[in-house]
Chain A
């Protein structure tokens, strides 16, 4: 994976090739049978589509089948899911999955309009609402319904910024306090600047293969114990309850069953905290806390790296950075590093099972991965 930065001027191809070459070198794989590319906004921001052929060309791998996978901010997670299914088909043995997003170099209104492509254009984007605004409406309803304070929710970005201090590839390596969140400028009431992930560029990549093939290349492969995707209505207003993401619950329920594990078995967790409220909701929707009580886990320190449920151990979307279509793959790659005991200063000692949640749009697509170390 590349460091996440803003303003470097690096191209989509440049970012993708760095991450892909690193993944191929690390894996020791001598060939690639197909390439999956996760991305959300290249058509809108860079006027560039056909990323499959673009990246195959840049890697000197033209000839193999290539696929661009788009699921809004869950594009990276959905790309992994598509690649897993390709392996299960038996047609392909060694698959490169990469994801890339370039968001810097554009005005905030341009990027904001691009992100709104993940909601319904006719009835929702036409109001002028933004993605921060949609999440702000969730936050307001959540705080009202469960009597939870903004101060409690602000613990989530504080946790992420703390963890990112130890991640050399993180975009925001700066410690923050709850008061910093509450005093940062309003973006969409009640959400403030430090409740929100930023704008950044980055790419991540992994190599997937069946277990018997992977064992030829490495002594410490990581097993994809479950890979699931679920969908929900495209629009937030179409749901009777907006304080839970039904797609998260459904994808997670199926993933736990497929992997044969329960929430209590998860040693390390990566959730899609594009906004502080989403981090808290994820703890509940994924089965770690009752509805309305997610912030208690934060207050008790359980989500810290030395707690019972180490969460967003590299800084999460908030502080590691959120190059939208690539974030889902950063999460999976970070979990793999944890399970291979290669996470450096971010390492959770003895981590064996990890879960990553990648959310597209306003919970309209959710990808869940459960990974297991098999060394």
Chain B
């Protein structure tokens, strides 16, 4: 098994606020923020499938985008590289890549064709 990809994020040293978006100050309490890493896994809060994409994504549709609660970490938004009928609210997902600011996840229960032996 390849090592599981971790998610880089930010945590407030004072109040525990957390986000995967960089912040100079905690937006909740103005406390100092430090960089941190979280497990690259979480659960789907809600999701959609984009069928009419914006400019720059025309050749990729349809694709699933979800809001995901990272285990002991922040809430994030990212792609899920499964089809819409495989995804459900509450599904477990694993981080697959974090390129150019867009996170990409995959359902944990379905083998990843790119890394399967």
B51 touches A237 (CB 8 A): no
Q: Which of B45, B49, B56, B75 lies in contact with A188, CB distance below 8 A?
A: B49
Q: Is A138 an interface residue (CB 8 A)?
A: yes
Whose C-beta in chain B lies nearest to the C-beta of A238? B19
Chain B residues numbered 20-57 whose CB sits less than 8 Å from any CB in chain A = 20-21, 27, 45-57
Interfacial chain B residues near A138, Cβ < 8 Å: 46
B65 touches A110 (CB 8 A): no
Interfacial chain B residues near A136, Cβ < 8 Å: 48
| A133–B89 CA distance with the chains assembled, in angstroms | 15
| A191–B100 CA distance with the chains assembled, in angstroms | 28
Q: Is B109 an interface residue (CB 8 A)?
A: no
Q: Is A112 an interface residue (CB 8 A)?
A: yes
Interface size classification for chain A: 35 or more
B89 touches A140 (CB 8 A): yes
Whose C-beta in chain B lies nearest to the C-beta of A119? B77
Q: Is A127 an interface residue (CB 8 A)?
A: yes
State the Cβ distance, B103 to closest chain A Cβ, in Å. 7
Q: Is B101 an interface residue (CB 8 A)?
A: yes
Q: Which of A113, A127, A240 lies in contact with B103, CB distance below 8 A?
A: A127
Interfacial chain A residues near B89, Cβ < 8 Å: 140-141, 144
B53 touches A109 (CB 8 A): yes
Q: Is A274 an interface residue (CB 8 A)?
A: no
B21 touches A128 (CB 8 A): no
| A107–B101 CA distance with the chains assembled, in angstroms | 26
Interfacial chain B residues near A123, Cβ < 8 Å: 20-21, 76-77, 101-102
| A127–B54 CA distance with the chains assembled, in angstroms | 10
Whose C-beta in chain B lies nearest to the C-beta of A108? B52
| A52–B21 CA distance with the chains assembled, in angstroms | 34
Chain A residues numbered 118-145 whose CB sits less than 8 Å from any CB in chain B = 120, 122-130, 132-134, 136-138, 140-141, 144
State the Cβ distance, A361 to closest chain B Cβ, in Å. 14
Whose C-beta in chain A lies nearest to the C-beta of B57? A128
| A185–B51 CA distance with the chains assembled, in angstroms | 10
Interfacial chain B residues near A122, Cβ < 8 Å: 21, 101
B55 touches A188 (CB 8 A): no
Q: Is B58 an interface residue (CB 8 A)?
A: yes
B50 touches A237 (CB 8 A): no
Whose C-beta in chain A lies nearest to the C-beta of B19? A238
State the Cβ distance, A268 to closest chain B Cβ, in Å. 33
Number of A-B contacts (CB under 8 A): 111
B67 touches A236 (CB 8 A): yes
B67 touches A242 (CB 8 A): yes
Interfacial chain A residues near B63, Cβ < 8 Å: 128
Q: Which of B20, B51, B66 has the most C-beta atoms of chain A within 10 angstroms of its own C-beta?
A: B51
Q: Is B72 an interface residue (CB 8 A)?
A: no
B55 touches A128 (CB 8 A): no
Q: Is A187 an interface residue (CB 8 A)?
A: yes
B77 touches A141 (CB 8 A): no
| A277–B41 CA distance with the chains assembled, in angstroms | 30
Interfacial chain A residues near B21, Cβ < 8 Å: 120, 122-123, 235, 238
Assuming A109-B58, A238-B19, A242-B67, is B77 touching A130 (CB within 8 A)? no
Assuming A127-B79, A242-B67, is B52 touching A112 (CB within 8 A)? yes
A129 touches B77 (CB 8 A): yes
B46 touches A128 (CB 8 A): no
What mask results when residues 60 to 71 of chain B are scored 1 for a CB within 8 Å of chain A, else 0? 100101110000
State the Cβ distance, A219 to closest chain B Cβ, in Å. 49
Whose C-beta in chain B lies nearest to the C-beta of A115? B54
Q: Is A58 an interface residue (CB 8 A)?
A: no
Q: Which of B19, B54, B78, B101 lies in contact with A116, CB distance below 8 A?
A: B54
Q: Is A213 an interface residue (CB 8 A)?
A: no
| A125–B53 CA distance with the chains assembled, in angstroms | 11
| A152–B75 CA distance with the chains assembled, in angstroms | 29
Assuming A126-B102, A130-B53, is B48 touching A237 (CB within 8 A)? no
Q: Is A374 an interface residue (CB 8 A)?
A: no
Q: Is A59 an interface residue (CB 8 A)?
A: no
B51 touches A186 (CB 8 A): yes
Interfacial chain A residues near B58, Cβ < 8 Å: 109
For this complex, 21 residue pairs linking A to B, each with C-beta atoms less than 8 Å apart, are A107-B55, A109-B56, A112-B55, A113-B55, A123-B21, A127-B65, A127-B79, A128-B53, A128-B57, A130-B50, A132-B52, A136-B48, A137-B66, A140-B47, A185-B51, A186-B51, A188-B48, A188-B49, A189-B51, A191-B48, A238-B75
